[in-house]
Structure 1
Amino acid sequence: MDISTHNSGATAVYRRNKRLLKNHESLVALFQLSADIIVAVALLYLFTSFKLEAFPAAYRVLAVLASFCIWFIYSSRGVYRRSSGYLRGCLRLTGAWAVMVLLLSLIGFITKTSETFSREILLLWASSILLAQNISYCLVSYFSKKYKENFERHLPTLVIGTGSVAEHLVDNLNKNRWLPDKVIGCIKSLDKDETVNVSGVNVLGGLENIRSLIKEHDIRRIYIALPMKASEQIDGLNIDLLDMNVDIIWAPDIFALNLINHSVREVAGIPLISINESPLTSSRVSMIMKEVMDRSIAAMALVLLAPVMIWVAYKVKKSSPGPVFFKQDRHGWDGKVIKVWKFRSMKLHIENEGEVTQATKEDPRITEIGKFIRRTSLDELPQLINVLQGTMSLVGPRPHAVAHNDYYSDKINAYLARHRIKPGITGLAQISGYRGETETIDKMEKRVEYDLAYINNWSLALDIKVLIKTPLSLLSKDIY
């Protein structure tokens, strides 16, 4: 057997066995997390001992449980791993503490042990810890920043590339107080058409000068931020710089692609970059939580709004001959055709085959009650039935008619990517002012832009925010 081939295979296996995705931890973050756990336990001990003159077993169990929860929640949410200002850091910390309090409350409710504890002690403990942790965060952040500025040894760093990813790297590396990297300049790639977007540092030259620049500036770390089309240069760079004793880190510029809910993870040591993935298929837990919230709220809304819906149905029936409900074929999740329910707002009319004419201002087809229910979006209420059926969500991109999708799909980039999540009764585009008629390509492009932003940033918190803001969006004057 060829020894070189054998070694190559062994190296490949070894690399795949080694975990590639690593958390970026720092001693300061670890110190702050440890300090918060110690403070939480110490305050619980002090308040309990003062109030009860003892530290009963139930409170000792609470101390252990709280310590574990702080470690798990703060670590998973990256409370101390991200560099930001004092206000944003405190808000992030407050959010994590609120999650922990809710989790402990839920555990107490499920185990029926909440009555064991003094409410006075728990309220004082929770509020005191929040104050103490925020003060600690600000103090540690301030002193660590001063230490880095005055005492820490920086790692002279170069960034290869001058595009948008390089600019983002330069800005964030030099601002990040947890990292020792200090970017002193950028280097242009071999691509003569490469744009220069970086600011704050100089472009020191091209790749042909890289070895001399490393020696001249005593460079210890290099970030490669080149577009995907230049990826063939990376292996050559790595081989060429092996004898220079510098760290080489690749930051692949995948952001020029149309990314849908992108993420990075690994399977068996192989890095996987998701460039187009539905947020519902990527997380089973998230899908279940969204389904539960959707169907619970839809069921309650149907009960509470039943009188309004009965009144609308009566008015629609009297307005003109025809059914109360209008069901239209529209594209749903993954492009499947679904029947979307609405209260009929127009007189019965015949469309040309394959055409769906959007309603316009002063449209003669719209009935008197139709104008009102379209203006107030009451015509959309039957879509709560779609939500209960599971074909729609409360929040998501609005489902467009099949004919509209056929028309816009080859005119707007990534238009059909809207179907990577369930369509919604309301959405981010709607609360941002893009409701009603889209008589120009530009307006539809803007709606699609917000729909894709929703998919890329989906969370239950975003859904709740959209639902809260939806009533305000109904005041828009552009709906007819």
Structure 2
Amino acid sequence: MEQGWVRSRQSGIIALYRLFDVLLIQGVLYACLAYFNVTPDKDWLIAGLLASVSFAFIAESVELYRSWRGETYVRILGTVTVAWVAVCIFLIILAYSFNAFAADFLRPAVAAWLVFTLFGLAFWRFCLRQLLFFIRVRGRNTRNAVIIGCTDSGYKLAKDLSANPQHGIRVSGFYQVTEAHDLASRRVMDSEFNVLGSVDDAVAKGRAGELDVVFIALPMRAEDLISEILDKFSDTTATVHILPNFFVAKMLHARWHQVGGSSLLSVFDTPIQGFDGWLKRLEDLVLATMILVAISPLMLLIALAVKCSSPGPVIFKQRRYGLDGRTIYVWKFRSMTTMDDGEKVMQAKSGDQRITAVGRILRRTSLDELPQFFNVLRGTMSIVGPRPHAVAHNEEYRNLVNGYMLRHKVKPGITGLAQIKGFRGETDTLDKMSRRVEYDLEYIRRWSIILDLRIVFLTVYRGFYHKNAY
């Protein structure tokens, strides 16, 4: 099969995706107008066309129409949501810029159109994804892949792809480089994967159009060798990926930067900046405001209970590390007779005598954390993020847990991925703290608005009570 024909067919499929999106946006609009007995006129035609054109433009800018083979549906859903929400904001701003049309955007038909279009855009992609999985598991719609380098990372990738046939990437085998770099050649030779020849043999197959995907699985220290292999494959139409070894896989959030003529690769960086930073801040402001309005009577009752149950202030402020390790003051309802905030802070334990009667209930149910929503409004915390620890605990564990301080590359949160995974409350062992940090760093690597909403939902769904909270 000629590569040019394959690429032409892929372009045709992408064009069908775009066409289907346009038809869906238009179809849902007129279905909603019909349901609410609204007569379509030129204004609605213009609105539909603007929505279709702007969605096509934004979807292209966020790479919605690229290949999503091997990606999670959550990431697809997040990209679709960002694109359509941007379209909705654009339409609403445009509508209110022209007062004559603003009233139409207050109609239920418009709200239904905006909501059901998002559902439709997400649902048809889910159905298509399931259909593709069904086809690929049966050996259709697959891509032929090879791995350059008989290394541990290459062997692991081959096993992962073999165990996930729904991605439609079939590994034909390995190609050897040199004995110095093929660190796991014996392991590969003893496996179910074949060693097919040398790099030159792989390049020859690529030039003949017999390879779809090439994975280079060599240590990053073999820079000259990798560069030489890339030069050879530049004369083919194969898609080439460099498989990161241990060093690259430990990167928090990789991003290329250009300074003059020099290219820089960030190793430890935050994904939440620029537009994403504004999006997360908007999420925090909306959720925190809604929650505070809803819980204000409860907070008033808790404040009275704390004040009447024991001497001392209602609110306890403790120093924590915030974004980029800057010191912030985190607010909590006081739950102890002491307010430790010095060089040494003792974690609360089961049966701790410092905890008041009311404080014990507050800590078990996490109600002592409610004032932190004011921290969110102030911008020192987020709804979702790594839980902030006392400064004394930070200084202790930063020397014991690898990558501990990287959790401060984002704002601390009221809840987080570690908390919904069960690592909440006392961290009385080094292993518990290490696991918590692992989940915190995983959250930073995987961050998306969808992940934030999922964590918030699971926090509420599973309840605030936890047996490990003392």
Aligned to 2:64: 78
1:277 equivalent in alignment to 2:265: no
Larger radius of gyration: 1
SS of match in other structure, 1:430: helix
SS of match in other structure, 1:229: coil
Aligned to 1:455: 444
In 1, are the aligned partners of 2:74 and 2:450 still within 8 Å (CA)? no
In 2, are the aligned partners of 1:317 and 1:323 still within 8 Å (CA)? yes
In 1, are the aligned partners of 2:21 and 2:121 still within 8 Å (CA)? no
- Range with greater deviation from structure 2 (122-131 or 292-301): 122-131
- For residues 79-478 of structure 1, what are the structure 2 equivalents within 5 Å? 81-83=67-69, 99=85, 102-103=88-89, 106-107=92-93, 110=96, 111-112=98-99, 113=101, 115-116=103-104, 130=120, 134=124, 138=128, 157-161=145-149, 162-164=151-153, 167-168=156-157, 171=161, 183-189=171-177, 190-194=180-184, 196=187, 202-204=193-195, 209-212=198-201, 220-221=210-211, 222-238=214-230, 241=232, 249-253=240-244, 256-257=247-248, 258-263=250-255, 273-280=265-272, 283-348=273-338, 354-471=343-460, 472-478=462-468
CA gap of 1:122–1:274, structure 2 versus 1, over 3 A, is same
In 1, are the aligned partners of 2:252 and 2:444 still within 8 Å (CA)? yes
TM-score (norm 2): 0.75
CA displacement at 1:419 relative to structure 2: 0.5
| Distance in 1 separating the partners of 2:433 and 2:371 | 25
CA gap of 1:358–1:309, structure 2 versus 1, over 3 A, is same
CA offsets, 1:79-136, max 9 Å, x none?
5631379998997898589648845763575345265599779969996994999399
In 2, are the aligned partners of 1:262 and 1:275 still within 8 Å (CA)? yes
CA displacement at 1:197 relative to structure 2: 7.3
Segments of 5+ residues of structure 2 without an aligned counterpart are: 1-9
CA displacement at 1:164 relative to structure 2: 3.3
Read off the aligned partner of 1:413 and give its amino acid letter: N
CA displacement at 1:475 relative to structure 2: 2.6
Read off the aligned partner of 2:450 and give its amino acid letter: A
In 2, are the aligned partners of 1:359 and 1:437 still within 8 Å (CA)? yes
CA displacement at 1:56 relative to structure 2: 3.7
CA offsets, 1:362-413, max 9 Å, x none?
0111111111111121221222232233222222111111111111112111
| Distance in 2 separating the partners of 1:271 and 1:436 | 43
| Distance in 1 separating the partners of 2:423 and 2:126 | 44
| Distance in 1 separating the partners of 2:176 and 2:299 | 64
- Range with greater deviation from structure 2 (155-164 or 413-422): 155-164
CA gap of 1:354–1:62, structure 2 versus 1, over 3 A, is closer
In 1, are the aligned partners of 2:55 and 2:87 still within 8 Å (CA)? no
In 1, are the aligned partners of 2:252 and 2:267 still within 8 Å (CA)? yes
- Range with greater deviation from structure 2 (403-412 or 190-199): 190-199
1:65 equivalent in alignment to 2:65: no
Query: What is the number of equivalent residue pairs in this alignment?
Result: 445
CA displacement at 1:428 relative to structure 2: 1.7
| Distance in 2 separating the partners of 1:331 and 1:277 | 17
* CA root-mean-square deviation: 4.9
| Distance in 2 separating the partners of 1:345 and 1:136 | 47
| Distance in 1 separating the partners of 2:130 and 2:261 | 35
In 1, are the aligned partners of 2:336 and 2:356 still within 8 Å (CA)? yes
| Distance in 2 separating the partners of 1:337 and 1:478 | 27
TM-score (norm 1): 0.73
Identity %: 32
Read off the aligned partner of 1:312 and give its amino acid letter: I
| Distance in 1 separating the partners of 2:190 and 2:91 | 49
CA displacement at 1:425 relative to structure 2: 1.7
SS of match in other structure, 1:185: strand
In 2, are the aligned partners of 1:167 and 1:199 still within 8 Å (CA)? no
Aligned to 1:13: none
